[in-house]
Structure 1
Amino acid sequence: MKIAGLDIGTTGCKCTVFDENGKYLDKAYRDYPVKRTVGGHEIDISAVMDGVYASIREMAEKYPDIAGIGVTSFGETFVCVDETGEPLHPAMLYTDPRGKEECRELVEKLGEREIANITGLRPHEMYSISKIMWIKKNQPEVYSSARKIFLMEDYVVYHLTGNAQIDYSLATRTMAFDIRNLCWSREIFEAAGIDMGLMAKPVSTGTVAGTISLAAVQKTGLCGDTKVVSVSHDQVSAAVGAGAFDGSVAVDGAGTVECLTPVYDQIPDIDVMYQGYFSVVPYVIPGKYVAYAFSYTGGALMQWCTETLAKKEMELAKEQGISVNEYLEQAYASQKEEIPSGLLVLPHFAGAATPYMDTGSKGAVLGLTTATTTADIYRGCMEGVVYEMYLNMQALQGSGIRFEKIHATGGGAHSEEWMQMKADMLNVPMVALKTVDAGTVGSAMLTGIAIGLFHDLQDAAFHMVEEIKTYEPRPAMHEKYMRIYEKYQNVYQAVRPLM
């Protein structure tokens, strides 16, 4: 018996297979294009489904005994479909600029605070409901023909099973879901002028949608009794895959985007969350919630630094058989005692996420001299990402956080230098996990529970979550970082008026 996790991303999807003991076996990946113009950012849902079918088929041909497949996806993006489930328009991504005026209209009717109190989200045009309003206003023929409105997880689940259901965590990304009563908000849909009956049925994270349909069997090669599970929004799946099940543990997703996900044992203080644009999301465990504190450039900033500034170092690293990241970390360590770089790097190279949500903000590197090396700048970029996370931690104070350690996943978790830096700067033990892709692991864990392979989350974590190393904070280094942080916390306010 095998279990699989299907992860739908903005540029590609992957199907990952595990055995009955939760051991990773294999994965298949397919990408698809994203169309970006001045007026819109769109994705062709038909191309997404082609990728889904192809990646599942590749795994099904190698592992014919897949008993369950869980579906997780990115958020916000939606599509209106006709009575056959076919898309009526290209789907708008969260970065699409359309919907700003509609969001303003919704705020004028209900007020920012009321929307945040209902949905756990500070109003922003990135969320689905504003863009659905835009469709109704500007493409009325599409809206009038719509029989369902799906986000990505429920769209894929529908095409695999014929059942229209969406899990609570993904439903929150619409800005139209009541996080307390765990249902669509009639108040918001009425204010938006959108038919609530078009939406999929909200269900608990990790709920079985049904067995795969005959049509999907033919397209995927899965056996007819394979169960399909509505898992979650990708960040919730990553928290599950990192083994964070109560408020004592937070998750650091050190991927392209740096995301800190604390767990709350009860609904957090909405006023605090509102101030920092933090999302409040129902978690897989009833009564618990998670929040997202993130920077658009985590690993992406490291990639920019190496590809733009470290071309020579790339060649030298290749000669030594190591990554350029390792080379630069070693170069910094060899030329200096263990001290902060002293640089102030504002990591807003793709705009500012929480607690600012300022897409117009730009990155900055301050403190350069003629003696500054590429390794210094690389180290400064690493520090900038962590300073931004510490800034988010400070903004979350008073919301109800109580975590005593952070479980780290993603590629950045394999950098010992970065992990120790995070422990020192955040002043919290950092636990590196074996898995790079916690989202896929979380999806498989919830699928395994849904089909009866694992008893519960603890049992699934026993089989699938493996800790590698714990990095303890060092008080002396924390004090050094905090002296620089006193300056860092003023950088955004200093740079923003100039850029």
Structure 2
Amino acid sequence: MKIAGLDIGTTGCKLTVFDENGNYLDKAYKEYPAIRKSEEHEIDADVIWQGVLSVMKEIGKNYPDIAGIGVTSFGETCVLADADGKPLHQAMLYTDPRGAKECKALVDGIGEKKLASMTGLKPHEMYSISKIMWIKKHKPEIYGKAEHIFLMEDYVVFSLTGKAQIDYSLAARTMAFDISALQWSREIFECAGIDMLLMSEPVPTGTSAGKIKPEIAELTGISSSAVIVSMSHDQVAAAVGAGVFSSDIAVDGAGTVECITPMCDELPELELMYEGNFAVVPYVIPGKYLCYAFSYTGGALIQWCVDTLAKQEKKEAAREGISVNTLLEGAESDPTGMLVLPHFAGAATPYMDIGSKGAIVGLTVATEVPEIYRACMEGVVYEMLLNKEYLEDYGVEFYMMHATGGGAKSKVWMQMKADILNVPITELETVDAGTVGSAMMTGIVTGCFKDLKDAAEHMIKKKKVYTPRGEMHEKYLVIYKRYRKLYQSVRPLV
């Protein structure tokens, strides 16, 4: 028996397969493009679907006896579809600026704090309901044809099984889901003028949607007895896969987006979370919640630095037979002293200011690319320290982090994070925690594991702990005190 996790991201999807004891066997990845123009940030949902079929075919060739696949996806992005689940338009990404007026209309109709108290989200146009309102207003012919409104998890689950269901955590990313009642908010949909019946049925994280369609089984080579499991928003899947089942531990999600995800033993004080723009979503453990502190550009900023500035270093790294990242990181060193505001795609928490821009401060004619690279790494972590301090002010504290995502492979960055944030960071053996978390829940559904504890014992393996160094923490804090003033200084200029 095999179990698998399917992680649908903004730039590609991956399917990872494990045996019945949770041992990693193989994975397949398919990249796909997003379309970003100044006023439109879109992705073709059908291209995502073709990517899913591609990775399933690749895995199906060698592992046809997969018992179940758990599906997790990025949040917010939604698509209107016909009765057969065929997309009717290009899906708007969360960074798409459209929907601001519609979000304001919702706030005017219901009230900002009431919306936040129901949904766990401070109102913002990034969330799905504002985008849906925009489509209805500006493309009524598309809205008129719609039989379904999907986010990417339930879009793929429906395409695989014919069952329209969405887990609680991803439903919460629409800004139309009541996180206390665990159901769609009729009041919000009525104010938005959107038919609530077009939405998928909300279900607990880890709920089976039934068996894969026979035609999909034939196409991919995966057994027709395989069940599809609605997992969650990708950050929730990563929390499960990282073993975050205690409020003492948080996830350090070091992907394209940098995200810190602590667990709360009860629903936090939403009015306080509202002040810091922190989102709260239901967790896989009933009565527990996760909250998100994040920067739009984590790994994305590092990649920008490599692609834009390190062209010569790429050639040098190729000659030396090492990765360009290893070359740029170099040996450990003291803080650069430079300040990088990592708002290259706008500011996320605690500001939620999509109009903010990035900045690099402290350049001289002697500055070289590796120094800018390290300063970018520092800037991402300073931003997360700012978020950590806000969370502590609101009563959310943690004393250990489990690192996931591609950035967790960087020993230099992991030690830098431990030093700046002043908490130990555990590197896990598998950095793809989203697919691990999805497979864990799938293993419970298919009978491989008794419960979460059993699944974690089989599938979560710790590799190394990076311990904060007091002397380095103090050095970074000197720079951080200046960093705290950076946003307020730069924002009026841009």
Q: Deviations over 1:8-53 (max 9, x none)?
A: 2223222221111212222222233433445533332222222222
Pairwise CA distance, 1:369: 2.9
> Residue 11 of structure 1 aligns with which residue?
11
- Compute the displacement of 1:493 (Å): 0.7
Task: Point out the more displaced range, 480-489 or 40-49.
Answer: 40-49
Structure 1 consecutive aligned stretches of length 4 or more whose deviation exceeds 4 Å: none
Shift of 1:155: 1.3
Distance 2:300 2:137 in 1: 37
Letter in 2 for 1:167: D
Q: 1:435 aligns with which of 420, 430, 434?
A: 430
Summarize the alignment of residues 40-55 of structure 1 with structure 2, pairs less than 5 Å apart.
40-55=40-55
How many corresponding residue pairs?
494
CA 1:369–1:39: 2 relative to 1, 3 Å:
closer
CA distance in 1, matches of 2:314, 2:140: 53
The residue number in structure 2 matching 1:292 is: 292
On the 8 A contact 1:257/1:294 being kept in 2, the answer is yes
Give the whole-Å Cα distance in 2 for the aligned partners of 1:41 and 1:495.
Answer: 25
Compared CA separation, residues 23 and 398, structure 1 to 2 (3 A):
same
Q: Partners in 1 of 2:281 and 2:250 — Cα distance?
A: 14
Q: Partner amino acid for 1:271?
A: E
Deviation at 1:282, TM superposition (A): 0.5
> Against the structure 1 CA distance between its residues 103 and 208, is the aligned structure 2 distance closer, same or farther, given a 3 Å change threshold?
same
CA contact (8 A) 1:270 1:399 kept: no
Structure 1, unaligned stretches of length 5 or more?
none
Q: Secondary structure at the match of 2:330?
A: helix
> Any residues of structure 2 matched to 1:266-345 within 5 Å, and which?
266-330=266-330, 333=332, 338-345=333-340
Alignment of 1:219-234 (within 5 A): 219-234=219-234
Q: Which moved more, 1:110-119 or 1:379-388?
A: 379-388
Instruction: Note if contact 2:63-2:222 (Cα within 8 Å) is conserved in structure 1.
Output: no
1:397-429, Cα deviation, whole Å (9 max, x unpaired): 233323110011122222222212111111111
The 10-residue stretch of structure 1 (484-493 or 294-303) with the greater mean CA deviation from structure 2: 294-303
Contact kept in structure 2, 1:272 and 1:396, CA below 8 Å:
no
Paired position in structure 2 for 1:374: 369
> Over aligned residues, Cα RMSD in angstroms?
1.7
In the alignment, what sits opposite 2:135? 135
Output the TM-score relative to the length of structure 1. Answer: 0.95
Distance 1:416 1:29, change over 3 A: closer
Q: Which residue of 1 aligns with 2:160?
A: 160
Partner of 1:244: 244
Distance change (3 Å), C-alpha of 1:288 and 1:311: same
**Structure-1 separation of matches of 2:138 and 2:109:** 20
> CA–CA distance in 2 between the matches of 1:412 and 1:195?
41
| Cα distance in 1 between the residues matched to 2:169 and 2:132 | 19
Residue 236 of structure 1, CA deviation: 0.7
Question: Distance in 2 between the 1:384 and 1:339 partners?
Answer: 14
Letter in 2 for 1:475: G
Aligned position for 1:388 = 383
SS in 1 for 2:393: coil
SS in 1 for 2:202: strand
Matches within 5 A, 1:87-486: 87-330=87-330, 333=332, 338-486=333-481
CA contact (8 A) 2:302 2:376 kept: yes
CA 1:224–1:404: 2 relative to 1, 3 Å: same
User: Contact (CA 8 Å) 2:391, 2:397: kept in 1 or not?
Assistant: no
Which residue of structure 2 aligns with residue 498 of structure 1? 493
Q: Distance in 1 between matches of 2:160 and 2:316?
A: 49
**Equivalent residue letter for 2:101:** E
Letter of the aligned partner of 2:459 in structure 1?
M
- Per the TM alignment, residue 353 of structure 1 is displaced from its structure 2 partner at its CA by 1.4
2:26 corresponds to 1:22: no
1:281 and 1:54 map into 2 onto residues whose CA distance is: 31
**Whole-angstrom CA distance in 1 between matches of 2:281 and 2:397:** 17
SS in 2 for 1:216: helix
| 1:487 corresponds to | 482
1:363-393 CA distance string (max 9 Å, x none)? 2222223443333222222211111110011
Range with bigger deviation, 354-363 or 439-448: 354-363
User: CA 1:119 to 1:339, structure 2 compared with 1: closer, same or farther past 3 Å?
Assistant: same
Please, which runs of 5 or more residues in structure 2 have no aligned partner?
none
Q: Are the structure 2 counterparts of residues 422 and 153 from structure 1 closer, same or farther at C-alpha, using a change threshold of 3 Å?
A: same
Q: State the distance in 2 between where 1:219 and 1:355 align.
A: 46
Q: Is the 8 A contact 2:345 2:357 kept in 1?
A: yes
Question: 1:66 and 1:205 mapped to 2: Cα distance?
Answer: 20
Q: Which letter does structure 2 place at the counterpart of 1:472? A: T
Please list the CA deviations of residues 182-224 of structure 1 after superposition, one character each: whole Å capped at 9, or x if unmatched. 1111111111111211111100001111111223223332212
Change (3 A) 1:300 1:34: closer
What residue identity is the alignment partner of 1:455? K
**Aligned counterparts of 1:434 and 1:367: Cα–Cα separation in 2:** 37
Hey, what's the Cα distance between the residues in 2 that align with 1:171 and 1:148?
14
Q: CA–CA distance in 2 between the matches of 1:375 and 1:86? A: 47
Q: Tell which deviates more after alignment, 201-210 or 273-282.
A: 273-282
* 8 Å contact kept, 1:72–1:230: yes
Q: TM-score normalized by structure 2?
A: 0.96
Report SS of the residue matched to 1:397: helix
